[in-house]
Chain A
Amino acid sequence: MSEEGTIAAGCATAEITLRAHGSDEVAVVVSALTPSRSAVQLEDRTPVTDAIRTGMNVLVLSSSELAARYPGFTPELARPGIDASASIPLVDSEGRVIGAVDFGWSSADIFDEGQLVVFETATELCARALDRVRLYELEYEARRLAENLQAFTMVLAGTESRADVAEAMVNESLRVLGADAASVSMLADDGIALLVSRGFDESVDQRRSRPLSVASPATDALMTRTMIVLESQDELIAAYPSLSTQARLDGDQSWVALPLVLGGEAPAVLFAIFRTIRSFSSQDRSLMSTMGLQAALAFERARLRENDLSEADKARQLAAAIGGLTAAATKVAVLAAFIDALPALDAQSGTLALLSDDGSSVDVQGGSEASPYLDSEWQTRSIGARTPLITALRTGESLFIHDRNELTSGFDLSAVEMFADGQRSWVAVPMYAGGRALGALGLSFIATQRFDDAQRVRLASFAALCANALTRAARFELEHSIAITLQSTLLPKQLKTIADVELSAQYNPGTRELSVGGDWYDVIELSQHRFLLVVGDVVGHGIESAAAMGKLATATRALAQVEAAPAALLRQLDRVAAADPSTQFASMAIVLVDREAGELRYSLAGHPAPLLKHADGTIESLDKARSIPLGGLVVERPEKTLSFSDGVTLLLYTDGLTERRSEHIDARTAVLHAALGETVIGVSGLPSALIASMMTGGEQVDDIAVLCAKFTRATPAFSRLVPAHTRHLSNLRHELRTWLVATGVAPSDCDDCLLAVCEAATNAIEHGHDSHSRPIDIRANDQDGRHTFSITDHGAWKQPVDSGGARGRGLNLINLLMDEMTVSPSDKGTTVSFTKVFETTSTP
């Protein structure tokens, strides 16, 4: 509070002294005509303090009187000549003495009663003015409080999380209270944890989180749920002797610890420090407690909201995990879904224990959110092991373990299942299906669990879902393995070897569970020159489809011996399918190959068209003779004939090769055409290469059967005895070129081989020193896409010494142009051999 008041009432000086607001102890000089009267204690003996204490006028009319009545008091304001004073008490509207006005004059002047009345009147006017000012100030203060609170309320209204609330509290305490630093800490498991901090040094922040047992204003405020205000270092040290050193180091002067109290609980505390001495008025204190209450309300609202959110998250996670369980077809998939569900069950890690078929042991594997698989392998444990999981499995009772003590005293943990460090509670829930124990689920929790009813029900339901999923998975896995076994027995183990035909086939089961069984391929030899290529696809998957496919494959083999024409054969198979529903709607592609006639006849029953790759790389689709899948309907089966030449490759496949959910079948067929057209791989590797190429960038869902045939008339090996003279080399080149072209090498690719052979032959001729009459033996053959050459002379091998010379250069060229050159000297002569792999016969 501040006053300015000047009263000139026929006196030389006047000053107003007011009692400090709310205090009986200190009187303060607020205003004076002359400067520098300092604060006076109320108990000091001065005319003014006397006037204030007594509420009566104090008149001192001469300096001698002053000295007599107030020994030791020398008014510093005294100007020369001013030696008389009248101290008139200031009385407010409620009759309280709030100060005094001191008038001074020279004792030489005349002083009378009239003068005193003037002083009293002036003082009274002054008191009224002060009253007005005080009321205004009170009002102003109240409005300021209201505004601050309103601002604070608005800030809080915008908060969503508890951290937001803490942030708002910290900012507002800096703004409203003028704190130099502030923080909000939350009650944590076993202490207080810092939420938000501003203005503190980092080192101070580190001290903010601490156990409740360490006494501090913040912890005390939390424990006692009352505001703690310390206005000086002395106060702090008196209350918290252990903090004295730190307080002196930090140099802070005042402290406030404001608990956020709601419903008798204080979940958080605001701690503010002031680097200068602060006294807190009752308004300040009431503002702070109101702020504390409002913040507590906002804090609780944020907590509930966070809870709701995390509950909603958990519900979603649980729903997703249950979806995963429903889809799980293997025990690993069940484990994965279980691990996914851990956050929704509040657990950090989980373990799945599965009883072995004979019930003597348990397979255990677990994981956590962070590392889905603790062990790459399932661990096998004895059914007698005294671990929580196996105990729960044995007894059929869920085990709820509330703390580590309970865990270590009750169980043998040498076989560690799920008991990583840092966890506080555990549960083991047995899993039953159809009254039979399947295994147990173990969960461990970082936070201490109470295991209330809701949680127990949730865990039990989840265990029941897992048990169901495991039963299903076991059935699936069994059927899957039977289907694979059946399928592999039914498919030809080795394709028939047919002269001048390279054959290769591949069957891939689908990755989708049970995507096995149904697709097949076959090569049926009819005579020396005629054989059937067959690919088919039975509807459905699993054991039944594998069996149906077996029936159709057998029927096709048997009927083909009687009726080999594809269309007629399909009509026979229609009758088989009509009589056996499991084979109905199967699709088939049948191609009859007649090597002698150079003819292909084909018919398709609802099956993708086989592809013919010509020697020049162009692709022809065998799609002219299409009709519906096998079945009861009596239909005409069309048949088409086309002639083919050597060097063509035929591809038959099932739709698993081209099917992809997101792409149109035409687009995929075009991709297959391109893949087949571009590939330069020999037939033996073609099926797997095509599958790999088609499955790039996607998952193979369905099963796939691929059958490839390449018609080649094998070229007899090249063998010549060339007289040892260079004039025969030109003819050798001519003959060798003719042979290479016959094996399918493009003429433009022949030159390197001709050069290499002639270089080797030249060497042989030149160093066959002992006799020019003995011929050079030149051989070449073509096997599996590799051309092998050997040149043998009958002289002793001489290592070329002059690398710049013709001979060294010749060998060098062979090395550069051919693969795997070897020189094998022997007593009888020397053989130089090398190979060359031609990638393709792209141009005729």
Chain B
Amino acid sequence: MTTDELATVTIDKSDDVLTVQIAGEVDSSNAQRIGELITAAESGARACIIDLTLLTYLDSAALTMLHRFAQLPTPLLLVTPAGSRATRLIEIGGLDTILTSHETMESAIAALGSA
């Protein structure tokens, strides 16, 4: 678990699946660093799930970070509850066309299992 002033990032890797939970705010001041944290943990994972449920603020810097992860070979799933700020911005930013979102962590893991 890594904490800065704005966000708390919890990274877990089990069964070769990387799960990342980001709580708090992600903006241009911390998006880059969070991105680096996840990239460092990502190697060797067969899939990555980023949980944005506890995110209270995100901006284009956060979207850019997610966009970059989407271009890595590791399959990426997002967890964004319906009606959340993250869901809305991902849609407005057009990222919903290249990223797969699930409403809960459970359904995301289930989707990986069945894949």
Binding site for B on A (CB under 8 A): 725-727, 729-730, 733, 751, 754-755, 758-759, 762, 765-766, 804-807, 809-810, 812-813, 816-817
Contacts and interface: CB of A to CB of B under 8 A. Distances in A.
28 contacts: A726-B29, A729-B29, A730-B27, A733-B25, A751-B85, A755-B59, A758-B27, A758-B28, A758-B59, A759-B60, A762-B27, A762-B28, A762-B59, A762-B60, A762-B61, A765-B28, A804-B67, A809-B63, A809-B64, A809-B93, A810-B59, A810-B60, A812-B60, A812-B93, A813-B59, A813-B60, A813-B93, A816-B92
B11 interface: no
Given A762-B59, A762-B61, A806 B89 contact: no
Nearest to A806: B64
A481 B5 CA distance: 72
Contacts of A805: 64
A805 B6 CA distance: 23
A829 B64 CA distance: 26
A726 B28 contact: yes
Interface in B20-43: 25, 27-29
Contacts of A729: 27-29
Nearest to A751: B85
B50 to A, nearest CB: 18
List the 5 closest A-B pairs by CB distance, nearest first. Answer: A726-B29, A810-B60, A809-B60, A806-B64, A726-B28
Given A806-B64, A809-B64, A759 B59 contact: yes
A813 B29 contact: no
Given A730-B29, A762-B28, A806 B61 contact: yes
A802 to B, nearest CB: 10
Interface residues of B, number: 17
A806 B28 contact: yes
Given A754-B57, A804-B67, A806-B64, A813 B89 contact: yes
Main secondary structure of the interface of A (DSSP, over half): helix
A792 to B, nearest CB: 18
A306 B62 CA distance: 89
Nearest to B56: A751
Contacts of A810: 59-61
B89 to A, nearest CB: 7
A223 to B, nearest CB: 91
B54 to A, nearest CB: 16
A736 to B, nearest CB: 12
A807 B93 CA distance: 12
Contacts of B28: 726, 729, 758, 762, 765-766, 806
Of the listed residues B6, B59, B67, the one surrounded by the most CB atoms of chain A closer than 10 A to its CB is B59
A45 B78 CA distance: 129
Contacts of B57: 730, 733, 751, 754-755
A726 B60 CA distance: 13
B92 A726 contact: no
Contacts of A727: 5, 29
Of the listed residues B28, B63, B92, B93, the one surrounded by the most CB atoms of chain A closer than 10 A to its CB is B28
B16 to A, nearest CB: 30
Nearest to A807: B60
Contacts of B60: 759, 762, 806-807, 809-810, 812-813
A758 B57 CA distance: 11
A751 B84 CA distance: 11
A759 B89 CA distance: 13
Of the listed residues B6, B60, B67, the one surrounded by the most CB atoms of chain A closer than 10 A to its CB is B60
Contacts of B92: 813, 816-817
Given A759-B59, A762-B61, A813-B92, A730 B67 contact: no
Nearest to A804: B67
A216 to B, nearest CB: 86
Given A759-B59, A804-B67, A813-B89, 10 more contacts: A726-B28, A729-B28, A762-B28, A762-B59, A762-B60, A807-B60, A809-B60, A813-B59, A813-B92, A813-B93
Contact of A730 (B5, B63, B89, B93): B5
A140 B71 CA distance: 112
Contacts of A755: 57, 59, 89
B68 to A, nearest CB: 10
A206 B61 CA distance: 87
A810 B67 CA distance: 14
Contacts of A762: 27-28, 59-61
Contacts of A806: 28, 60-61, 63-64
Nearest to B4: A727
Given A733-B57, A759-B59, A726 B64 contact: no
B64 to A, nearest CB: 4
Contacts of B59: 755, 758-759, 762, 810, 813
Nearest to A758: B59
Interface in B43-94: 57, 59-61, 63-64, 67, 85, 89, 92-93
Interface in B90-114: 92-93
Contacts of B64: 805-806, 809
A536 B32 CA distance: 67
Nearest to A816: B92
B25 to A, nearest CB: 6
A730 B30 CA distance: 11
A758 B89 CA distance: 14
A807 B27 CA distance: 12
Nearest to B27: A729
A720 to B, nearest CB: 16
Nearest to A725: B29
Contacts of A758: 27-28, 59
B45 to A, nearest CB: 25
A430 B60 CA distance: 83
Contacts of A754: 57
Of the listed residues A726, A733, A751, A806, the one surrounded by the most CB atoms of chain B closer than 10 A to its CB is A806
A766 B61 CA distance: 12
